[in-house]
Amino acid sequence: MKTNTVFFLLFFFVVGTVYSQSQSNQIPLIGAKAPSFTAQTTNGELTFPNDFGESWKILFSHPKDFTPVCSSELLELAYLQKDLELLNVKFAIISTDNLSQHKMWKAHLEELDYKGRGTQTIQFPIIDDSAAKVSRLYGMLHAPTSDSRYIRGVYIIDPQNKLRSINFYPVEIGRNITEIERTILALQAADETKLLTPANWTTGDDMMVPHFPYTQSDLATNPDLKNDYYNVGDRMWFKKGSK
């Protein structure tokens, strides 16, 4: 009897531990508050996302410093960082490599002339998560690929610190930084107009209306209103853009 009791206690302990670990490694959900953490970075201590204030935030996870694909991504980000700042976007890079490694990698990248653009200064922080604290908060470690290195994750967070977009890329494939910028622009446009963006939308394109755009009463007041809209079939209504 005593042996059975010990067996069941051990069983439930193991199951509970596995369940707890699986829960702690879950990817946070779109619409949820972005998990907060404090860590050391190449720019000093950072409490994310609060220290970035009322900006849009992007958190990039990457597998390992000094790898060629990651290096190309950071150099693209450094090239576009001023454009992203104009969109009220701040971003941070994170991996399980330590701070010393990050600083050496940053110094190395700042010496390179990538695509003939000249050298770039990396102004954004690179976060030390060698203890894998953030990986558990954000579900960055995907065990079938690696249980110690992140896959390429992109978390877009709005000024209210809510997660608005989450994407993962395989370790072999570099991210399209201009597509990430386009996603920010689309989210900002959707928030401002309360409209939707169709496939392949870019700034100034027509946007989609989530419901019938006007009533007969609206037309009686403003007959030209119908000139701002058009439909494709009976399900897709568009508001004309600026292009």
Token representation of residue 43: 């720019």
**Measured distance CA(34)–CA(193) in Å, rounded:** 24
Beta bridge partner(s), residue 168:
153
70 is catalytic: yes
β-pairing verdict for 163-169 and 44-48: unpaired
Identified catalytic residue from 46, 59, 70, 141: 70
Element (H, E) at 77: helix 68-86
Q: Which residue has the tokens 């790898």?
A: 67
DSSP label at 121? -
**Measured distance CA(183)–CA(214) in Å, rounded:** 28
Active site residues: 70
